Chain A
Amino acid sequence: MLIFNSKIEKPGYLEKLLVGRKKTVNALEKSVITGAKYYQNIQHLVIGNRGSGKTHLMRVLFNRISTNATVTNKYCIAYMAEQEIGVDSFYALIISILEAVIRWNDDLAEKKEWKSKIGVLKEIRPADREDRAKEYILSYLGEKQLLILADNINGIFEGMKLHGQARFRDFIQQTDKINIIATNRSLFADIQREDKPFHNYFHIIHLDPLTRDETKELIIKLTAIEASPELTAHLNTNKGIGQIRSIHFLSEGNHRLIAMFFEFLKADIKSNLTIPFLKTLDRLKPYYESFIQHLPPQQQKIIHFLALKHQPQLGSAIAKECFLTPGGTSKQMTELRNKGFVDAHRIGRDNKYELSGPMMRYCIQLTDGRNGIIGMFVRFITVLFSDAEIINRYLKLKCQLKEGCDEKHDYKKQAEEVLIYEKAGENQAPIGHLRKHIESIEDEGTKSAMVKIMMKLRNLHPNCPIAEKDCTCSQLLNTNTDDDPVLKIFIIKLVSCSLYEDAYKLVHYINSNIEGRSEENVTTSIFFIKCLFKFNTNPEIIEGYLNKLLLMPTDGLTKKLISVLLESRFKGNEQTVYNLPKDERAILTFICEKGELL
């Protein structure tokens, strides 16, 4: 499982491959450095799922701080990289810490001396040894502080039990010399409950799964390490893009899974991901199984039930199928959520639950002898996630919805055009393409209005960058339009048509337009608000507009605006969306994204 630990151990590589975690490592590094400068305590706990890159992150952090004199002058670093096994008391923890500290000590004589001291410690009679161990570690530290870097700290905490934890915290507080940066897979009772010694002791940092772009970044970086031009080229093809999206979906942005998929993908780049997928599943199966085995029977049952259901399930349905009381179910579900196995979506007074990672679901299905179906599913999903196919589906849908539309309408051709437009567009759509886009606007009214404005504008503002062929959206938005509302509106329309990203500027424009409320302005606003959704704008902003409008007299225009806003507000209606299984939701998202571009 430890792909990152095997051949790409070198610090440089690790640093380079640190996709999506740079911010966290930087923040931790800063915390250590300012801690060293100003005598502050450091107590961070990084929470991230299995395989989300915690060990990697700690390794990079250790590399950085252990080579920084500001830090090493002040701290002895106990880097406990491997999961510490057999720490069953505070005494055992001190031994582990001492061993970890001297492991990285370059002074050979000192190293030897301390090794033998640890040997002595192990011989001491039980009643005395904890005190002696404390003395030893304090004398080792001298004037310095101790900084513990510990992976999967829950293992240590569980081993020490409450008794050991309490003694550990007593020691920390009594001496004021111990700092900890730790990781764990999930939050755990020993830090969450008020009657536990370490309650609210750590500052908690959550690691988010990688986004689609970060997944792409990671795959590209892995490719670069492999130095395979063929693979690099492949990733830019329509199929490659679809594969990256599928990998993101299947891995849920999990570093380890992405790396694993990549291993298999690179071996067989011509494949449709079915084989890499099945191979990954094979590797993962025993891993997931061992996790599930260690769960209480009731939780095993719930996981099994959810795995075999494609759609998210209501808590009440789970209770019924798994013979549980409502109270019992909610307790088990909370635990499963805390352990990171299950996601919950609130629906009215109940929740809908589903397994967090698709891979675990498939592993369980595999056990049920359904590999044929799973293989088919992945093939399907890879094709589906490719741009061409998503646009196809969208246009088809749209065509079906339109009354009297010819089924054989050539949406394939249209799709290709869109693709070309998109490629050329990216974020910095040159005006030439925008013009082309205006021409393709279906609504004749809007189209002619825009063409008209464009002509007018040309005459009024010969110097406006619009005249230049390669003008970008940001240039346009920076044009001073204070004294010319027509130009302003035009620019917004233009920019809204493009793939411009800066939603906040748009919001600003909309604000001033709604206030004005001439017919022209309000229609334009409707247009912009629709555009806003392209940019995934915060629902609060929409809510804000709604409230503002509700205070205005209700004339036709306002009503129209309100209805648009309401429509957008309920767009992501959770009740219905969460009836769909996760993969279909992902597809839907893609389709929506594409659809709105058209």
Chain B
Amino acid sequence: MAYNISNIIGRDTEVKKLLRVLETHSIVLSSHRRMGKTYLLKKIKATHPDNIVPLFLIVEGKSSPEEFVYDLYRCLQEEGLITIGKSKRFHNWYEKTIAGQEIKEMKLPSFRPHWKEALRKIIEGLLEEQKGKTIVIMIDEFPIMLYKFIMEYKLVNEAVELIDTLREIRQVYGDRGIRFIFCGSIGINVVLEKLKKSHNYAGEPLNDMSMEILDAMNIGDAKKLVRHLIEVKEISIEPDNDNTIDELCKSVDSLPFYIDLIIKEIDVNQSIISPESIKNEVERLILAAGNQGQFNHYTDRISTYYEKDMGKISRKTLNWLSTKENFVDELEIFNMLAGQQKIEEDVVRGVLKKLFDDLYLDRKINRGKRFYKFKYNLLRKWWMVNFG
């Protein structure tokens, strides 16, 4: 599938960086939802250098490892990266085992050894056909697929095996130029935590991969995005200068999803982009009732993926921090929490670290002391209105 990327703007710095990492390592790429991960992968797919063979596969809806493997195979085949003749063995296997079965039945234990073997065969075949090139298999929504295997389809063992098999493949064939990008929003760490806590999993299956995080756009890209959207939405801007654009980008912290949203709102209201309309729309976005959903992912994330106590403390911390515009001393945060409940300093430190890793908070270290504040001012304001 050749993607038209005329509407994917900027992110060149990020692409470059990922490509550099790929020279030596596979990557786990994560971010909050709607940050632009999928766009980024598509850009890589469409603009890769010659020595790279990229594959883009999105897997949120897969319901078993068998299906995942089969789709990977089909995708490679469609892209002409693997030819049936050469991977005949796999094809025969598929005909004999999966075809003709209900998807549900594919979960039968007797198929298990087959999919692993098939996965290895596919990779071998692929390397054979694409000798000398680096093959980058980008798997979008990989963590959520695993999460569903575990939570929804009760395929805990299969999930573990898939993770392990992929690791084995990286180790065995890594030298021959196979790389993966596991991309997703829930963060693969959540999945591993789940496996460790509830299923006694003890491996470190990703410690050979480089952990990358996708953040908001840099201001240059954000402005480019605004310019682009103005053009393709045929919408006017007044005054038509850099300040207006700058204002729009800053008011949404250069988060591409919200840039797009604000411009769409202005467009639907048949208005023009102006300092006034920007201010109005941002305000509306922030003041909109909590159930509107445009910021829900930030709260849902905590209730869905954080352990119960951890979630509670995180919420309290964020509620309080949302009322502070500037950096706050870690100690002050501890005092605030300790004033409400009995709590260890270590726990608070852990929560803050987690919120920092999860892109809720920004951190500054000054003379050995840690200071925190909300990473995105837009989110802070919304949070303050709703929970502050």
B366 adjacent to chain A (CB < 8 Å): no
Residue interface bits B230-273, CB-to-A below 8 A is 1, else 0: 01111000000000000000000000010001001001111000
In the complex, what's the smallest C-beta–C-beta distance from A422 to chain B, in angstroms?
32
A106 adjacent to chain B (CB < 8 Å): no
* Contacts known (A193-B296, A195-B300, A203-B264); A38 close to B58, Cβ less than 8 A: no
B186 adjacent to chain A (CB < 8 Å): yes
* B-contacting residues, A434-456, CB 8 Å: none
Cα(A128)–Cα(B102), bound, Å: 9
Closest A residue by C-beta to B151 = A195
Cα(A125)–Cα(B291), bound, Å: 42
B103 adjacent to chain A (CB < 8 Å): yes
Residue interface bits A164-195, CB-to-B below 8 A is 1, else 0: 11111110011110000000000100011111
Closest A residue by C-beta to B102 = A126
B33: A residues at CB distance < 8 A: 194, 199-200
- Most interface-central of A38, A125, A175 (chain B CB within 10 A): A38
Interface size bracket, A side: 35 or more
Contact check, A34 vs B233: say whether CB atoms are below 8 A apart: yes
Option from A31, A34, A38, A195 in Cβ contact (under 8 Å) with B304: A195
A204: B residues at CB distance < 8 A: 292-293
Stretch from A21-29, A245-253, A385-393, A585-593 forming part of the interface with B: A21-29
Option from B56, B61, B98, B264 in Cβ contact (under 8 Å) with A167: B61
Option from B57, B233, B296 in Cβ contact (under 8 Å) with A174: B57
Size of interface on B: residues with Cβ below 8 Å to A:
53
Contact check, A127 vs B100: say whether CB atoms are below 8 A apart: yes
In the complex, what's the smallest C-beta–C-beta distance from B288 to chain A, in angstroms?
10
A40: B residues at CB distance < 8 A: 7, 232-233
A174: B residues at CB distance < 8 A: 1, 56-58
Closest A residue by C-beta to B264 = A203
Closest A residue by C-beta to B63 = A163
A30 adjacent to chain B (CB < 8 Å): yes
A166: B residues at CB distance < 8 A: 60-61, 148
Cα(A26)–Cα(B264), bound, Å: 13
Cα(A568)–Cα(B6), bound, Å: 53
A197 adjacent to chain B (CB < 8 Å): yes
B200: A residues at CB distance < 8 A: none
B304: A residues at CB distance < 8 A: 193-195
B291: A residues at CB distance < 8 A: 187, 192, 334, 337-338
Contact check, B59 vs A170: say whether CB atoms are below 8 A apart: yes
Contact check, A169 vs B297: say whether CB atoms are below 8 A apart: no
A34: B residues at CB distance < 8 A: 232-234
Closest A residue by C-beta to B268 = A27
Contact check, A176 vs B3: say whether CB atoms are below 8 A apart: yes
Contact check, A187 vs B60: say whether CB atoms are below 8 A apart: no
* Contacts known (A27-B267, A163-B63); A127 close to B102, Cβ less than 8 A: yes
A131 adjacent to chain B (CB < 8 Å): yes
A504 adjacent to chain B (CB < 8 Å): no
In the complex, what's the smallest C-beta–C-beta distance from A550 to chain B, in angstroms?
23
A39 adjacent to chain B (CB < 8 Å): yes
A317 adjacent to chain B (CB < 8 Å): no
Contact check, B7 vs A38: say whether CB atoms are below 8 A apart: yes
Cα(A40)–Cα(B235), bound, Å: 14
A558 adjacent to chain B (CB < 8 Å): no
Cα(A205)–Cα(B63), bound, Å: 33
Option from A26, A127, A194, A334 in Cβ contact (under 8 Å) with B301: A194
B233: A residues at CB distance < 8 A: 31, 34, 40
Contact check, A170 vs B1: say whether CB atoms are below 8 A apart: no
B340 adjacent to chain A (CB < 8 Å): no
Contact check, B61 vs A163: say whether CB atoms are below 8 A apart: yes
* B-contacting residues, A4-44, CB 8 Å: 23-24, 26-27, 30-31, 34, 37-41
Chain B positions near chain A (C-beta within 8 angstroms)? 1, 3-4, 6-7, 33-34, 38, 42, 56-63, 74, 98-103, 106, 140-141, 144, 148, 152, 185-186, 231-234, 257, 261, 264, 267-270, 291-294, 296-298, 300-301, 304
Query: What are 12 A-B residue pairs whose CB atoms fall within 8 Å in the complex?
Result: A34-B232, A37-B232, A166-B148, A169-B61, A170-B62, A173-B140, A176-B3, A192-B293, A193-B296, A195-B304, A203-B261, A337-B291
Given A38-B7, A194-B300, A338-B291, 19 more pairs with CB closer than 8 A:
A24-B268, A27-B267, A27-B268, A34-B233, A39-B4, A126-B103, A127-B99, A127-B103, A162-B152, A163-B63, A164-B61, A167-B61, A170-B58, A194-B185, A195-B144, A197-B61, A199-B33, A200-B293, A200-B296
